[in-house]
């Protein structure tokens, strides 16, 4: 009897590493995004590998990752992070290096998705939105957004310098490709704030992503800057909200593996699945965020493509959010914005 017990205990101990590897903790921002990821990535991965995915929601707290890495107690395996955190975390050595030979061909991805220690997960955009029931003539440019004679009423804008200064310069005639070159100069920043001042009396500020669609539906504003996924969610609820894509500012969220993850190999497999064309196409069908793998686009029908920041029609006049610019000048511009807004 004792021999049997010892043998059983030994067998259980031998099986422990395998059992530990059959569970993976994946962290994201939850909401509609989390639900779309569950359908496109989590469920297929569990089915094909037999691995149990433990999903965790967070609000992007990089400090949690840093504390885990520094204390060598890493319990998160795959984490979705925003672009400034991806760049900063790579620089600070918080993330494992990505094995791109396991992810896919770099040439298949949009250039911004390829990083030494991060893989672009999806593309989202800050765009101009309006209520199709209330505005019969569609605003086509940021100059229209600023035109209170042609389109009387309030505009909702995010309370902060980021995005707004870019939109102001485009409204003042700067081409998307030249926006950051102009904004990097003292004259360019002055020009952006002067343009913002023209619209100031007609601005209703928003601070949470859920607010722009709410303001539009309530009729508080005639136009709003908004995250395209929030407008997509409102459209899926039957609201006749519409997007003008010209001059939208797009950015990426990324997958990273915290340094010291005990399940690094399994985490790489998960990211590889999430980066594959089929999985990215399925994700885009569930929420209007664009694939980073260009091969996913051919798998989507015209109706889905029309709603994505990465579709050729929507992307042609868009602007890539410049992480480097805002890392260098963001603090000074946000301080200037705060004092300008308070006047």
Question: What share of residues in the chain are helix, strand, coil (percent, to 5)?
Answer: 50, 20, 30
List residues bridging with 250 in a β-sheet.
Answer: 125, 320
pLDDT at residue 6 above 90? no
pLDDT at 4: 46
pTM for the structure as a whole: 0.80
Q: How confident is the model at residue 8 (pLDDT cuts 50, 70, 90)?
A: very low
What CATH superfamily is the domain 125-250+321-342? Periplasmic binding protein-like II (3.40.190.10)
pLDDT at residue 5 above 70? no
Cβ contacts of 223 within 8 Å, gap of 6 or more = 128, 129, 130, 135, 139, 145, 151, 153, 155, 156, 216
pLDDT at residue 191 above 90? yes
Among 87-91, 125-129, 148-152, 273-277, the range scoring the smallest mean pLDDT is 87-91
pLDDT tens figures, 235-268 = 989 999 999 999 999 999 999 999 999 999 999 9
pLDDT at 88: 87
Task: Work out the end-to-end distance of the chain between its first and last CA atoms, rounded to an integer number of angstroms.
Answer: 83
Q: Indicate the DSSP class of residue 114.
A: B
pLDDT at residue 148 above 80? yes
Q: Please answer whether residues 284 and 304 qualify as being in contact, where contact means their C-beta atoms are separated by less than 8 angstroms.
A: yes
Give residue limits of the domains in the chain: 21-123+252-315, 125-250+321-342
Cβ contacts of 244 within 8 Å, gap of 6 or more = 127, 128, 129, 130, 138, 139, 140, 141, 144
Cβ contacts of 200 within 8 Å, gap of 6 or more = none
CA distances from 152 to 129, 137, 147, 161, 202 (A): 15, 12, 8, 24, 9
pLDDT at 112: 92
**Record: fold of 21-123+252-315:** D-Maltodextrin-Binding Protein; domain 2 (3.40.190)
pLDDT at residue 3 above 70? no
Q: What is the CA radius of gyration of the chain?
A: 23
pLDDT at 310: 82
Cα–Cα distance, 116 to 14 (Å, whole number):
35
pLDDT at residue 303 above 50? yes
- E strands within 137-240? 155-158, 203-206, 223-227
Q: Is there a common fold for 21-123+252-315 and 125-250+321-342?
A: yes
pLDDT at 238: 95
Cα–Cα distance, 330 to 337 (Å, whole number):
10
pLDDT at residue 10 above 80? no
Q: Please answer whether residues 198 and 146 qualify as being in contact, where contact means their C-beta atoms are separated by less than 8 angstroms.
A: yes
């Amino acid at each position: 009897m004792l021999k049997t017990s010892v043998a059983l205990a030994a067998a259980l101990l031998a099986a422990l590493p395998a059992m530990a590897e059959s569970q993976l903790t994946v962290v994201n921002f939850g909401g509609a995004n989390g639900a779309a990821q569950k359908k496109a990535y989590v469920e297929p991965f569990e089915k094909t590998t037999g691995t149990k995915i433990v999903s965790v929601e967070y609000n992007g707290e990089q400090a949690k990752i840093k504390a885990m890495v520094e204390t060598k107690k890493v319990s998160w395996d795959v984490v979705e992070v925003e672009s400034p955190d991806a760049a900063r975390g790579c620089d600070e050595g918080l993330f494992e290096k990505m094995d791109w030979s396991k992810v896919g061909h770099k040439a298949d991805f949009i250039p911004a998705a390829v990083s030494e220690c991060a893989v672009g997960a999806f593309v989202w955009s800050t765009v101009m939105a309006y209520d199709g029931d209330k505005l019969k003539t569609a605003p086509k440019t940021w100059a229209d957004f600023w035109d209170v004679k042609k389109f009387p009423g309030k505009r909702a804008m995010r309370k902060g310098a980021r995005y707004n200064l870019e939109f102001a310069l485009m409204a003042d005639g700067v081409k998307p490709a030249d926006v950051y070159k102009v904004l990097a100069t003292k004259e360019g920043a002055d020009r952006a704030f002067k343009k913002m001042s023209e619209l100031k009396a007609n601005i209703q500020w928003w601070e949470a992503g859920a607010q722009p669609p709410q303001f539009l539906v309530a009729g508080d504003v005639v136009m709003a800057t908004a995250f395209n996924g929030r407008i997509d969610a409102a459209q899926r609820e039957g609201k006749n909200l519409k997007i003008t894509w010209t001059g939208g500012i797009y950015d990426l969220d990324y997958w990273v593996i915290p340094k010291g993850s005990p399940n690094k190999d399994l985490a790489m497999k998960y990211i590889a699945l999430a980066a594959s064309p089929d999985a990215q196409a399925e994700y885009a069908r569930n929420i209007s965020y664009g694939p980073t793998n260009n091969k996913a686009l051919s798998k989507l029908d015209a109706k889905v493509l029309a709603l994505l920041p990465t579709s050729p029609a929507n992307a042609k006049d868009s602007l890539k959010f410049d992480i480097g610019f805002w890392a260098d000048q963001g603090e000074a511009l946000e301080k200037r914005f705060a004092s300008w807004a308070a006047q």
